[in-house]
Amino acid sequence: MHELGIVFHIIKTVERVGEENQLSTVSSVTIQLGEVSGVVHTELADCWKWAVKKTELLKNAELLIETIPAVTFCEGCDTTYETVRHGRICPHCGSGHTYLVQGNEINLKEIAAC
Protein backbone atom coordinates (compact mmCIF):
# COMPACT_ATOMS: atom_id res chain seq x y z
CA MET A 1 0.00 0.00 0.00
CA HIS A 2 1.88 3.08 -1.21
CA GLU A 3 -0.80 5.38 0.22
CA LEU A 4 0.73 5.00 3.69
CA GLY A 5 4.13 6.02 2.35
CA ILE A 6 2.58 9.07 0.72
CA VAL A 7 0.89 10.00 4.00
CA PHE A 8 4.18 9.65 5.92
CA HIS A 9 5.90 11.89 3.36
CA ILE A 10 3.15 14.54 3.61
CA ILE A 11 3.28 14.47 7.42
CA LYS A 12 7.08 14.79 7.43
CA THR A 13 6.89 17.74 5.04
CA VAL A 14 4.15 19.47 7.06
CA GLU A 15 6.08 18.93 10.29
CA ARG A 16 9.17 20.52 8.71
CA VAL A 17 7.13 23.50 7.50
CA GLY A 18 5.49 23.71 10.93
CA GLU A 19 8.85 23.83 12.66
CA GLU A 20 10.20 26.45 10.24
CA ASN A 21 7.13 28.63 10.81
CA GLN A 22 6.68 27.91 14.53
CA LEU A 23 3.19 26.45 14.10
CA SER A 24 1.47 24.94 17.12
CA THR A 25 -1.44 23.15 15.42
CA VAL A 26 -2.35 22.24 11.86
CA SER A 27 -6.09 22.08 11.26
CA SER A 28 -6.08 20.86 7.67
CA VAL A 29 -3.84 19.87 4.79
CA THR A 30 -4.98 20.18 1.19
CA ILE A 31 -3.41 18.00 -1.47
CA GLN A 32 -4.00 17.73 -5.19
CA LEU A 33 -4.12 14.25 -6.68
CA GLY A 34 -3.94 13.58 -10.38
CA GLU A 35 -6.83 11.58 -11.75
CA VAL A 36 -4.43 8.88 -13.00
CA SER A 37 -1.89 9.11 -10.18
CA GLY A 38 -2.72 5.60 -9.02
CA VAL A 39 -3.56 6.81 -5.51
CA VAL A 40 -6.81 5.48 -4.04
CA HIS A 41 -8.51 8.39 -2.27
CA THR A 42 -10.29 6.28 0.33
CA GLU A 43 -7.10 4.38 1.20
CA LEU A 44 -5.19 7.64 1.49
CA ALA A 45 -7.86 9.10 3.79
CA ASP A 46 -7.85 5.99 6.00
CA CYS A 47 -4.06 6.04 6.27
CA TRP A 48 -4.19 9.76 7.09
CA LYS A 49 -6.68 9.26 9.93
CA TRP A 50 -4.48 6.58 11.45
CA ALA A 51 -1.14 8.35 11.01
CA VAL A 52 -2.00 11.88 12.19
CA LYS A 53 -3.15 10.56 15.56
CA LYS A 54 0.48 9.64 16.19
CA THR A 55 1.70 13.23 15.77
CA GLU A 56 1.44 16.31 17.93
CA LEU A 57 1.23 18.99 15.25
CA LEU A 58 -1.38 17.25 13.07
CA LYS A 59 -3.28 15.24 15.69
CA ASN A 60 -6.76 16.36 14.51
CA ALA A 61 -5.87 17.70 11.06
CA GLU A 62 -8.29 17.06 8.23
CA LEU A 63 -7.05 15.88 4.84
CA LEU A 64 -8.69 17.68 1.92
CA ILE A 65 -8.23 16.17 -1.53
CA GLU A 66 -8.64 18.01 -4.83
CA THR A 67 -8.56 16.08 -8.10
CA ILE A 68 -6.46 17.24 -11.03
CA PRO A 69 -8.12 16.01 -14.23
CA ALA A 70 -5.99 13.90 -16.56
CA VAL A 71 -5.34 15.61 -19.89
CA THR A 72 -3.51 14.15 -22.87
CA PHE A 73 -1.90 16.05 -25.76
CA CYS A 74 -2.01 14.72 -29.31
CA GLU A 75 1.02 15.46 -31.46
CA GLY A 76 -0.95 14.44 -34.55
CA CYS A 77 -3.48 17.28 -34.40
CA ASP A 78 -2.07 19.52 -31.63
CA THR A 79 -5.12 19.19 -29.38
CA THR A 80 -5.76 18.06 -25.84
CA TYR A 81 -8.48 15.73 -24.61
CA GLU A 82 -9.74 13.94 -21.48
CA THR A 83 -7.41 11.03 -20.83
CA VAL A 84 -9.73 8.86 -18.75
CA ARG A 85 -12.59 9.15 -21.21
CA HIS A 86 -10.58 8.49 -24.37
CA GLY A 87 -7.33 6.72 -23.40
CA ARG A 88 -4.16 6.88 -25.46
CA ILE A 89 -5.74 7.21 -28.90
CA CYS A 90 -6.76 10.74 -29.88
CA PRO A 91 -10.54 11.01 -30.31
CA HIS A 92 -10.07 13.86 -32.81
CA CYS A 93 -7.68 12.33 -35.35
CA GLY A 94 -7.08 8.73 -34.22
CA SER A 95 -3.36 9.23 -33.65
CA GLY A 96 -1.49 7.23 -31.04
CA HIS A 97 1.26 9.88 -30.81
CA THR A 98 0.04 11.27 -27.53
CA TYR A 99 1.39 12.03 -24.08
CA LEU A 100 -0.01 12.89 -20.69
CA VAL A 101 0.11 16.62 -19.93
CA GLN A 102 -1.37 16.52 -16.44
CA GLY A 103 -3.14 14.16 -14.12
CA ASN A 104 -0.46 12.01 -12.49
CA GLU A 105 0.71 14.59 -9.92
CA ILE A 106 0.57 14.53 -6.15
CA ASN A 107 0.95 18.10 -4.82
CA LEU A 108 0.84 19.54 -1.34
CA LYS A 109 -1.29 22.62 -1.94
CA GLU A 110 -2.10 24.19 1.41
CA ILE A 111 -1.53 23.90 5.14
CA ALA A 112 -4.09 25.56 7.42
CA ALA A 113 -2.68 26.22 10.88
CA CYS A 114 -3.54 27.90 14.14
Annotated binding-site positions for Zn(2+): 74, 77, 90, 93
Q: Which amino acids are annotated as binding site for Ni(2+), given as ranges?
A: 2
Q: Which residues contact 38 (CB under 8 A, 6 or more apart)?
A: 2, 104
Query: How far is 30 from 6, CA to CA, in rounded Å?
Result: 13
Query: Helix, strand or coil for residue 87?
Result: coil
